Structure 1
């Protein structure tokens, strides 16, 4: 029999605040890049890309922007990765791909951070409701040094675990275990919310219950959390806490 859920762990960008992918998609459209081209470039670098290293606190902002701009404009590497993406998803591989440098890492990052200033109110209310119901709550975020969202959101949580502080980032399972240890729960007693499938897979492999939060479907994710807690949590049959 599954253990009762005792704690809920939230991603920040794309869950508690609006997704940076909204800004990425808008920038792709502005430049005439094919959909998900920048996301594929990001993923192609694995754990050692400039963006990933910046999230672990290994680069200063200026170094990050310079290196990320170089990576974004490495059309030879990015086009190979994007063709594989098209094949994998059975999309039209005849798409015309970029041939020249035109992407600004600085402009893109500024746009991403602007989007992240807007909270997903239903998720913020879910955090408050969970605390009122007696659950432990944590944030587990791939973020950056001096990230403004961290200071604004920290008071909501019992535990706030940041990649820029810990030198680890999702989907490294050691990062998830830090959150569980600080919450004093096992992975099997935790529910994890994120918007990125690879992050959810890593959590599920550890034994966590998982919920994906998709853009525009945040309220459906809230409903799914509540359904899971009815089955596996100390869900209040009658409570003054409302959401």
Structure 2
């Protein structure tokens, strides 16, 4: 029986356009990112470099960028947060049947945008018993260590835990640790469908 629900954030609650940042950068003739830049992005997601260092590294590598147009491009991926998903989460919290955890790969620039543009972000955050952002815990999915951290921190039985994420690499990694998973398809599914899609677990 499932006792703990672990949710991703982007494309689970917050709608994303994952191709948007690439499109915006290509308009400024930036494409085919080097392995170094991909690693820099991952370091930033893990909170190992500051936002200022991160923005500076992009602007130094691509002189056509300014801090502002880079941040606009970086945040272009972020769309909107349908309020019915908040209500679903609030109902889960009210019922108190499950321990609720958020586990998200994100970064300070994105979270600053969310705080400025999603008026109920604090209400959302307050629904969770634990709220983990990659840049705050210096770990990121799909590394096993991030799931092991959460399991150990809260003394969870993986077989009583369900992880919901839209990225196959992340759900595969969780499944390797015997955590139940739902690899949600944001194009055809909604997190509010949880109990019908995964009814065999409840």
Shorter-normalised TM range: 0.7 to 0.9
What is aligned with 1:6? 3
Root mean square deviation of aligned Cα: 3.3
* Residue 30 of structure 1, CA deviation: 4.3
Q: Structure 1 207/68 Cα, relative in aligned 2: closer, same or farther at 3 Å?
A: farther
What is aligned with 1:53? 43
Structure 1 unaligned segments of length 5 or more: list them: 74-100, 234-243
* Residue 130 of structure 1, CA deviation: 2.7
- Taking structure 1 as the reference length, the TM-score comes to 0.64
Question: Which of the two has higher C-alpha Rg?
Answer: 1
After the TM superposition, which of the residue ranges 13-22 and 110-119 deviates more from structure 2? 110-119
The number of residue pairs the alignment matches comes to 193
Q: Structure 1 69/32 Cα, relative in aligned 2: closer, same or farther at 3 Å?
A: closer
The partner residue of 1:193 within 155, 164, 171 is: 164
What is aligned with 1:131? 93
- Taking structure 2 as the reference length, the TM-score comes to 0.75
Assess if the C-alpha contact under 8 Å between 2:139 and 2:146 holds in 1. yes
| Correspondence list, 1:1-243, <5 A | 4-24=1-21, 26-27=23-24, 30=27, 41=33, 44=35, 49-68=39-58, 107-113=69-75, 115-116=77-78, 118-133=80-95, 134-145=97-108, 147-148=111-112, 149=114, 152=122, 153-219=124-190, 221-223=191-193, 225-227=194-196, 229-233=198-202
Q: Deviations over 1:212-234 (max 9, x none)?
A: 23343342x542x213553222x
